[in-house]
Amino acid sequence: MYGGSVGISFMQSGARTPTRRQLLSAIAKVGGTAALYQAMTSLGHAAETRFPGPPNLQGARPGASVIVLGAGLAGLLAAFELRKAGYKVQILEFQNRPGGRNWSLRGGDSYTELGGATQKVGYAAGNYFNPGPWRIPHHHRTLLHYCKQFGVALEPFIQFNHSGWIHSSQAFGGKPVRFNAAAADFEGNIAELLAKSVNAKALDDAVTLEDRERLLEALKGWGMLDKDYRYAASLRTSSHRGFKRPGGGGVDGAPIPSDDLYSLHDVLDPQVWTSMGFFMNHEMQTTMFQPVGGMDMIGKAFAKQVEGLITYNAKVSKIAQDDKGVVVTYADTVTGKVTEAKGDWCVCTIPLGILGQMDLAVTDEMMAAIKAVPYSGQVKMGLEMNRRFWEEDDDIYGGHSFTDQEIGLISYPNNNLFQDGPAVLLGAFARDLGAFRLAGMTPEQRIEVALAQGSVIHPKSYRKEFRTGASVAWSRVPWTLGCCARWNEETRKQHYQTLVAMDRRIVLAGEHASYVGCWMEGALLSSLDAITRLHKRALSA
């Protein structure tokens, strides 16, 4: 529906047919990130991934060696498959842990961001916060394949929850409303409007007489319309949006329908339909999964497959190459000792914002491609609460509540349902201007903003039950300088093929080298493609 309104605005302005870039920009302005992603999916920018199966790397030359830079998922998978094929592999990792952005913060952890602010995480035992990836779509087959192969236990991630809240400062008097009620009233109002158009014969040129009757019947059923094709308060509409008093037992068990239907003006607020559209995006459709015990369980399982190959605390400063091999200079971040690693080939998974600052022996075209891609700067916060008030008070078990405030949304934990004691919810997933503002604050200030804005949705319990929190502003993460790569149509056309091509003996891999950006799946697919091409080049050399 947003596509139609955007198209009309272009036509009314007298412009020619909009370019794809203009269309996406307009959609983003009107409907926000969720609407933009849905449009990108429709235009083929984001779609179901394809997994050809593990790579066939037969015939590796005896003694051939590969240096893998980065022990994120792309680097770990590259090392696993290359060693399995017979290559001698060494992994250099800047941090003291594997996984990269596949990361969980737990009680007792310490994290220092750019600028020097250090957070000491105080969560209760067993609780955690995933600052990076936090869910796995059911069609991300590469990741699911290797999770199964490496023994990573997965559990459902509750993505779609009708009981969550929708909050817009511009609608419903600024108060949060239940998702099911807002969605039902949106659908009911739209169904009534369309039924009126059909009955007024406004669609006779587009709908046959037979389909006209079928459409009216469909609208009556889907939109919960009455016999006169009106969307009005009734037991029937309440069965969709919720009751004023639900049915019970005994003499006073009759249900009372809700009579506070929201106006067409309110349900047309972008916060309503973008929240509904969020769950229509292919990447966001059920079923989704998460690792049992935290997202970092994936990185740990991948690292276990290449045990003994990873050198941690290795800060790479120079990558040189010639026709015979690759030399990587790195320093131990603990002792300061500088070492050179030598190999025949190199798979580099270092994020582009970091890589572009290094002494790197690649072509000018490759360096231009590396520097052409900016990174997004999302901010996420994990707030530990003394009790699961969202379950006990609001009947919310997993899923999300959406707001037009800077925090963007609140996401409720999908594990340990019904348990007593502290639990961690995602108190912010801020993007764009909201993330920019939050990133400029201290960690303590960010938590205060999250508490203030979350209290709009949960006014009785949010501050009262707050125990402790942690935040990660991705633009301040020292080892990535951003969350994930943000290509656009122009940069992909000009630089993408250069970025993913082999530069003599170096090949790049990671989510930035894929069309499935910002997802672990993209990193893995990129890795498999990179090592397949490296292997072919190695055999021909």
Domain ranges of the chain: 65-96+312-372+487-540, 108-160+286-296+376-476, 180-262
Residue 8 has pLDDT above 80, yes or no: no
Give the contacts of 148 (CB within 8 A, at least 6 positions apart).
none
Q: What are phi and psi of 77, to 5 degrees?
A: -65, -40
Q: How many residues in the chain?
A: 541
Please check whether the two domains, 108-160+286-296+376-476 and 180-262, share a CATH topology: no
- Across 272-281, 463-472, 496-505, least confident range: 272-281
What does the pLDDT read at residue 283? 86
Q: How confident is the model at residue 68 (pLDDT cuts 50, 70, 90)?
A: very high
Range 65-96+312-372+487-540 classified under CATH 3.30.1490.150: no
What does the pLDDT read at residue 339? 98
Q: 7 versus 517: which is more confidently predicted?
A: 517
Q: How confident is the model at residue 45 (pLDDT cuts 50, 70, 90)?
A: very low
C-beta of residue 474 within 8 angstroms of C-beta of residue 376: yes
Residue 307 has pLDDT above 80, yes or no: yes
What does the pLDDT read at residue 449? 98
Residue 438 has pLDDT above 50, yes or no: yes
Distance CA 229, CA 345 (A): 69
What average pLDDT does range 140-153 have in this prediction?
97
C-beta of residue 229 within 8 angstroms of C-beta of residue 216: yes
H helix runs in 13-123, sequence order: 20-42, 73-85
Strands 136-137 and 288-291: antiparallel
270-278 helix and 179-199 helix, angle to the nearest 10 degrees: 100
C-beta of residue 66 within 8 angstroms of C-beta of residue 80: no
Topology classification of domain 108-160+286-296+376-476: Polyamine Oxidase; Chain A, domain 2 (3.90.660)
Q: How confident is the model at residue 130 (pLDDT cuts 50, 70, 90)?
A: very high
What does the pLDDT read at residue 427? 98
Q: What is the pLDDT of residues 199-222, one digit of tens each?
A: 998 888 888 889 999 999 999 999
User: For the whole model, what pTM was predicted?
Assistant: 0.88
Distance separating the N- and C-terminal Cα atoms of the chain: 54
Q: How confident is the model at residue 33 (pLDDT cuts 50, 70, 90)?
A: very low
Q: Select, from the ranges 40-49, 166-175, 200-209, the one with the highest average predicted confidence (pLDDT).
A: 166-175
Give the contacts of 32 (CB within 8 A, at least 6 positions apart).
270, 274
Give the contacts of 165 (CB within 8 A, at least 6 positions apart).
176, 177, 178, 179, 401, 402, 403, 457
What are the strands of the beta sheet with 359-360, ordered from one edge? 338-343, 326-332, 314-321, 359-360
What average pLDDT does range 522-538 have in this prediction?
97
Q: How confident is the model at residue 469 (pLDDT cuts 50, 70, 90)?
A: very high
Q: What are 423's strand-pairing partners?
A: 385
Give the contacts of 322 (CB within 8 A, at least 6 positions apart).
none
What does the pLDDT read at residue 328? 98
Tokens of 436: 């920019």
Structurally, at CATH architecture level, domain 180-262 sits in Up-down Bundle (1.20)
What average pLDDT does range 357-379 have in this prediction?
98
What does the pLDDT read at residue 43? 39
Q: Which residues of 435-458 are buried (b: 16+ CB within 10 A; e: fewer)?
A: beebbebebeebbebbbebbebbb
The mean pLDDT of the chain is 91
**CA distances for 402 relative to 376, 425, 463, angstroms:** 20, 14, 19
What average pLDDT does range 481-490 have in this prediction?
96
**CA distances for 207 relative to 172, 191, 203, 214, angstroms:** 35, 16, 6, 10
Q: How confident is the model at residue 480 (pLDDT cuts 50, 70, 90)?
A: very high
What does the pLDDT read at residue 258? 94
Percent of the chain with pLDDT over 70: 91
Residue 29 has pLDDT above 90, yes or no: no
Tokens of 524: 């893995």
What does the pLDDT read at residue 228? 95
Q: What are 72's strand-pairing partners?
A: 99
Distance CA 539, CA 541 (A): 5
What does the pLDDT read at residue 13? 35
What average pLDDT does range 316-331 have in this prediction?
97
Q: How confident is the model at residue 397 (pLDDT cuts 50, 70, 90)?
A: very high
What does the pLDDT read at residue 49? 63
What does the pLDDT read at residue 281? 86
Distance CA 480, CA 523 (A): 14
Q: 11 versus 331: which is more confidently predicted?
A: 331
C-beta of residue 296 within 8 angstroms of C-beta of residue 304: no
Q: 46 versus 103: which is more confidently predicted?
A: 103
Residue 531 has pLDDT above 50, yes or no: yes
**CA distances for 330 relative to 32, 79, 136, 323, angstroms:** 42, 19, 34, 21
Amino acid letter, 80: F
Q: How confident is the model at residue 541 (pLDDT cuts 50, 70, 90)?
A: confident
Residue 38 has pLDDT above 80, yes or no: no
Tokens of 338: 């500088």
Q: How confident is the model at residue 48 (pLDDT cuts 50, 70, 90)?
A: low
